[in-house]
Amino acid sequence: MNILILDDESHARVSVKSYLNRFMGVDYSFWEADTIEDAVKITDDHSIDLAFLDIHLGQGTSFDFLARFDQIPFKIIFISGHNEYAVKAFRFNAVDYILKPIEPREFEEALEKAKDALPLSNQLLDKLTADMTSDDIPKIVLRDIQSVYFVEVKEIVYCQSENNYTTFFLRDGSQITISKTLKGYETLLRPSGFFRTHRSYLINLKMIRSFDKKEGGSIKMVDGSTIPLARNKRETFAKLMQVS
């Protein structure tokens, strides 16, 4: 396997190389680039199978690099120190993203996904590029070990985290558990009317049935679930819902 690492931060490239040595189960060769032009030269000279792309580069973004290809021939894992870029890439699940500083578990999971993923299509690249300036999320893509789910945001009642997993509870009663933390989904879904009521819960404000102010407050959702409201969230929640 031939691997490209495009990142303008040398310590980030060192981290990727370190984790490749740790987790890569097949023989591989890698090339490093810190500019878009260097990356283009590498892909001209070598057949790349997998690329680790820092999204925000000194001369632009990795989308500018990808736009050079008529058809993108390699699989991609995005890396970013800027959460807003990473979340927007993740929104379309293009292969995966890793936030800096890189965590070993997230790197290993992204690598496993990349083994089974298809190269990024130009159509999806266009969507990713357009998505950089959009907060409209009609659907999100959720992937577990066996399946890929295309979930309408309006059908999510709430999300619950446990350790490094997040479970989505949907209006039809179904549940989807993903091996990602709740923090990324909070950033992704907040513009669509979701609120973090507690360190373990993220709710769809449109799915609230009632609010019980007794004993500190609890929230009843349309599916009958009762969601706790943390003390430090009460004031913000009251303002959002216009309750006193």
Largest distance between two CA atoms of the chain: 68
Note the pLDDT of residue 122. 61
CA distance 48 to 27: 14
pTM (2 d.p.): 0.56
Q: Are 241 and 211 in contact (CB under 8 A)?
A: yes
Does the pLDDT value for residue 100 go beyond 90?
no
**Planar angle of CA 194, 88, 32, nearest 5 degrees:** 145
Query: What's the average model confidence in pLDDT over 12-35?
Result: 91
Give strand pairing partners of 195. 203
Q: DSSP secondary-structure letter at 224?
A: S
* Integer Rg of the chain from CA: 20
CA dist 170 → 167, 181, 204, 207 (Å): 10, 18, 10, 10
Least confident of 56-65, 80-89, 220-229: 80-89
Distance between start and end Cα atoms, the chain: 60
Which domains can be identified in the chain, with CATH numbers? 2-131 (3.40.50.2300), 150-241 (2.40.50.1020)
- Of residues 21 and 72, more confidence is placed in 21
Locate 93 and state its tokens. 């699940």
Distance, CA of 97 to CA of 107 (rounded, Å): 9
pLDDT surpasses 60 at 180: yes
pLDDT for 80: 77
**pLDDT category of residue 92 using cuts at 50, 70 and 90:** very low
**pLDDT-derived band at 52, boundaries 50, 70, 90:** very high
Structure confidence at residue 219 (pLDDT): 93
What is the average per-residue pLDDT within 43-61? 89
Model pLDDT, residue 93: 46
Average pLDDT over residues 130-156: 73
Q: Could you give the C-alpha distances from 186 to 58, 90, 161, in angstroms and in order?
A: 28, 13, 11
Q: Return d(Cα 55, Cα 150) in angstroms, integer.
A: 24
- Pairing mode, strands 218-221 and 139-143: unpaired
Cα-Cα-Cα-Cα torsion 163, 165, 169, 173, nearest 10 degrees, comes to -110
Whether residue 66 is predicted with pLDDT greater than 90 in this model: the reply is: no
CB contact burial 195-223 (16+ within 10 A = b; e otherwise): bbbbeebbbbeebbeeeeeeeebebebee
**Cis check: omega of the bond before 101, within 30 degrees of 0:** yes
Q: What percent of the chain has pLDDT over 70?
A: 83
How far is 11 from 22, CA to CA, in rounded Å? 17
